[in-house]
Amino acid sequence: MRFWEKYAKWNGWKSNATPLQKTAYRLSKMSNRFSIQGEVVETTCMWMLKQKQEGIDRSADEAYEKMAKGLLRKHWDESKNELWKVNFKKSCLHEHYYPQFHEQSERDLIFSLADTVKLCLQNFETLFLSRFAKIDPDDEVPVTVVGQGDPEHFHFEGTKIYAIPDYVHREGDIWHIHDWKSGKIREDHHKQLGVYALWANLKHQIPVENIQIHIEYLQFGETISATVSEEDLEATRNEIRSAVLDMSEYLVDADKAKNKPLPQDEWEMTLERYSCARCKFHELCEPEFE
């Protein structure tokens, strides 16, 4: 997957790209029910918050009907009708593209997706919204998201690291970094928030003792908050260093500056074959499996 995602897809958006480049680029844009679920919940929650800040109360049911339902239908219809064939920016869901890896019926999937989004919005309205509504908009920290220019990032030891927290605000000298999750509680979410904390520390020069992280699990109505220590930041630095070192092994002369990949046949295929059922690039690897 790394080869397809990081290198083979490059320039795949150009008219003179090779068929392989175009396919890798198109597949790299693929999403799934969980990613669109998260996107729709995040967008709708932000809409509810902005409406509240303007003095307009929106119920979860109203937010679903006015915002979430249309967004879900848009993603679903684009994928189902294969509009991505003429425009790579249109949604392409793994569930539609690789149906052999998904046992849930389309009807059950649609209802499950809608029910989860509704639950997240209900919990946001009743358990989260009042807390966020107290925040002065002037204390919100702008975050550049995908589709609005170069997404939020920072540089660490010569490597560009993308870090796009869902919501950030100041409270005096304290920076609060929030990530809204519509899915299950997972331990690796703390690592993700660690990268966001390093972003605040390096790019915005926020002292580590002034950074607090919050994982908002909307489906379960639970918030996990933590202060950040220097040990936490060092653990994140080491995680990034390890990941960069792993990738460097697949570069010519391990030269990060040139960033030229080794030939494809020198990249190892995963031994964890179960993960292939979730991969966007299964189509490209399938001939080698056979």
Which residue in 79, 97, 34 sits closest to 277, CA to CA? 97
Q: What angle do CA 113, 283, 17 make, to 5 degrees?
A: 110
pLDDT in tens, 21-66: 999 999 999 999 999 999 999 999 999 999 999 999 999 999 999 9
Lowest mean pLDDT among 1-10, 103-112, 155-164, 204-213: 1-10
Per-residue pLDDT at 177:
97
d(CA 49, CA 272): 42
Encoded tokens for 236: 């994140």
DSSP 158: T
Residue 194, classed as helix, strand or coil, is helix
- The pLDDT of residue 289 is 63
Q: Is the pLDDT of residue 181 over 90?
A: yes
Q: What is the pLDDT of residues 224-235, one digit of tens each?
A: 999 999 999 999
**Phi and psi of 251, rounded to 5°?**
-105, 150
Query: Residue 263 has what pLDDT?
Result: 76
Report CA-CA distances (Å) from 131 to 118, 135, 213: 20, 8, 15
Burial class (CB in 10 A: 0-12, 13-18, 19+), 280: buried
Q: Stretch 137-156: mean pLDDT, rounded?
A: 91
Mean pLDDT, residues 113-137: 96
pLDDT above 90 for 149: no
Of 209, 148, 144, give the one whose Cα is nearest residue 174. Answer: 209
Confidence of residue 290 (pLDDT cuts 50, 70, 90): low
Give phi and psi for 148, each to the nearest 5. Answer: -125, 35
CA 188 to CA 170: how far, in whole Å?
25
Averaged pLDDT for residues 125-151: 92
Task: State the chain's mean pLDDT as an integer.
Answer: 91
Q: Which two tokens stand for residue 139?
A: 């204390």
Distance CA 271, CA 3 (A): 15
CB 151, CB 162: distance < 8 Å: yes
pLDDT average, residue stretch 169-189: 94
DSSP letter at 262 equals P
pLDDT higher than 90, residue 254 = no
